[in-house]
Chain A
Amino acid sequence: MLWPDGRAAGPGAVGLLAAKGVGIVASPRLPKLLPTRAQLGPAIAWSDADLDQLATIGPADVAAAQAYRPLTADPRQRALLALLADLLHAQEDGSG
């Protein structure tokens, strides 16, 4: 881990912050540590074929989207998301 100015944080500092039980960045009273590039690892370089495949929507994607579970705890937001789920299951209107 790194201090914000780029200096490496020793294991003692990391251990001390972790021992506080607040996580590495959770407390505004403690300095934030950043992961090193080695910890981050490389980005994925998608080829055109990869992008085409990634962006293809199949039955598994539809099933995953239908199984969506809201993260928000806000009651109004949850009610709107329940409405959206109901709308998505609309059938053809035969009244017109």
Chain B
Amino acid sequence: MADYRWDAAAGRYRDAGGRYVADGVVRAAVDALLDDGTLRLQALSARLATGTLALAEWQQAMAVELKRIHLVVGTAAHGGWAHMAPADYGWIGQRLRAQYVYLQAFAAQVASGAQPLDGRVAARAELYAQAGRATFEELRRRDMRLRGVTEARRGLHAAEHCAGCVGAAAQGWQPLDEVPPIGAFECRSRCRCTLQYRTRAEEAA
């Protein structure tokens, strides 16, 4: 296992040589987890659509996978398992609870027939996995606020961008809490943007 350290003051990982691990590398690892989670949720949804998994079993299994996804990405944002306190688990749990409310509505729509059991089920399930990205970014924002960081901006990356994200990125540096969260625009939880941070008059973190 490679030896990484968590620099709590900076809110960043360091490698064995003491160099910071680039934020983009950490986010790529988080994105890989979300994409793997997508595969899992799509597989569950395929079993639902073929009648090999009952709706209640699907709902429970989705809930288990969502907990794993949000827990892992939230922990990645906060420096790893060794740095998680009960309050951090509670913060993630609140986000998870909101996802469970959405999941319950999703299941009710499947039961009523309002949600057709076709490819749209798997597409909708994907959004639940990808919603972990917002948990990662919002936990980072919470921690940056606690560190006294005052400003953030939206970073666009190699992806197709919706108009909302392009407009938000064009705003540049804004007060920390005025930058819209990941998932706030048309691309919803598929948003691949990042939030970047600085304290006024300093360079980007």
Contacts and interface: CB of A to CB of B under 8 A. Distances in A.
A16 interface: no
A23 B50 contact: yes
* Interface secondary structure of B, over-half rule: helix
A43 B112 CA distance: 9
Nearest to B14: A93
Given A68-B68, A77-B36, A90-B6, A95 B14 contact: yes
Given A57-B92, A89-B81, 11 more contacts: A44-B104, A54-B63, A55-B67, A55-B93, A57-B89, A62-B84, A72-B32, A77-B35, A80-B29, A87-B80, A92-B82
Contacts of B26: 87
A46 B71 contact: no
A81 B107 contact: no
Interface string B42-69: 0100101111001110011001100110
Contacts of B8: 92-93
Contacts of A55: 67, 93-94, 96-97, 100
A8 interface: no
Interface residues of B, number: 67
B10 interface: yes
Interface in A5-50: 23-25, 32-37, 39-46
Interface in A43-67: 43-46, 51-52, 54-57, 61-62, 64-66
Contact of B67 (A35, A41, A61, A77): A61
A44 B101 CA distance: 11
Nearest to B106: A43
